[in-house]
Amino acid sequence: MINFNYETEFGLENEKDLSSWILSTITSEGYKLEVINYVFCDDEYLHKLNVEFLNHDTLTDIISFDYSVGKIIQGDIFISIERVKDNAKDFNVTFLKELHRVIIHGVLHYCGYKDKSDKEAQVMRAKENHYLAQLA
């Protein structure tokens, strides 16, 4: 089950299509979905979580809490709409493209992909691009 929650004025228009895409990504990676809760929020909301749970006093676009067990995906993904908008401008892409990238980025973390090193980040970006192409 995929749940979309809103702690800001933002709302998705295509929840059903996005749910299908996310589920397809999880299945393609050899995992099974239990539940993912997406929470769309603002910078202030996400900053509080970043400080409280990760001890990082910085703004970020996404925080994911992974409760997966083995190949069964479950977790909470918090996304700052303000950060996504700013990043879209910085990367010269549309807001929706950047939002979709962040949405699938969290899922890929649950599927075992990391992005701490340059090599890991390259693999993560290639996977993001692969799945973004399937959504288009």
Distance CA 132, CA 1 (A): 21
Q: What is the pLDDT along the chain (136 residues), one digit of tens a residue?
A: 999 999 999 999 899 999 999 999 999 999 999 999 999 999 999 999 988 888 788 888 999 999 999 999 999 999 999 999 999 999 999 999 999 999 999 999 999 999 889 999 999 999 999 999 998 6
- For domain 2-135, the CATH superfamily is Metalloproteases ("zincins"), catalytic domain (3.40.390.30)
Annotated binding residue at 47? Answer: no
pTM of the model: 0.92
Annotated binding residue at 43? Answer: no
Annotated binding residue at 100? Answer: no
Q: Is 133 helix (H, G, I), strand (E, B) or coil?
A: helix
The terminus-to-terminus CA distance of the chain in angstroms comes to 22
Distance CA 15, CA 122 (A): 28
Measured CA to CA in angstroms, residue 6 lies from 40, 45, 46, 89, 101 at distances of 5, 11, 12, 22, 18
Per domain, the residue ranges of the chain are: 2-135
